[in-house]
Amino acid sequence: MDQLDRLIKMAEDELTEYSTDARKMEKLRRKIGLSVPIAEQRRCREALAVQLPKSGFRQILEEQRQAVALPFWGLAGLGLLAGVSLSQSLGYVAAVIGTVSAYRLQKWGWELQAKRLLLNTLEDIEARITQPQPES
């Protein structure tokens, strides 16, 4: 689903900006409204709803990715310290493993957060379409 991947990248771009979730959703809503037909939006929303976690480790990772990765950053630092000060090659291995693990966990959490932002935006678009417009 190439369209879904493109929408996820758009959501990741919005996450890089320092603003509220409502502002991110507003900017993303405009981009999606201009470039994606309604039927495709619904298909993407259904696919995202299946992919995103309801509970468990993935939800914790989505909400607290830095806290989950912190022990692995600590392992990387301690491994580097042991490798340098004690001349232990096992320390360097621990540093590499810790760094790679922490980076991948944070990247995975970032992707989950972008998917959640996209799903919330698509649901908001759907709600705005289905609700009756007030007459002026």
For residue 11, give the nearest of 120, 129, 125 by alpha carbon: 120
Question: Which of the listed ranges 3-7, 69-73, 123-127 does the model predict with the highest average pLDDT?
Answer: 69-73
Segment 20-79, tens digit of pLDDT:
888 999 999 998 888 888 888 889 899 888 888 778 888 899 899 999 999 999 999 999
- Band (pLDDT 50/70/90 cuts) for residue 87 is confident
Largest CA distance in the chain: 76
Q: Return the domain boundaries, the chain.
A: 2-130
The residues, any chain, with a CB within 8 Å of residue 74's CB and separated by 6 or more, are 98
Instruction: Please give the pLDDT value at position 135.
Output: 64
Instruction: Please give the pLDDT value at position 36.
Output: 86
Alpha-carbon distance 48 to 94, whole Å? 35
Residue 111 clears pLDDT 90, i.e. is over it: yes
- Band (pLDDT 50/70/90 cuts) for residue 134 is low
The residues, any chain, with a CB within 8 Å of residue 99's CB and separated by 6 or more, are 72, 73, 76
- Whole-model pTM? 0.84
Instruction: Please give the pLDDT value at position 37.
Output: 87
DSSP codes joined into one string, 59-104: HHHHH-HHHHHHHHHHHHHHHHHHHHHS--HHHHHHHHHHHHHHHH
Residue 1 clears pLDDT 60, i.e. is over it: no
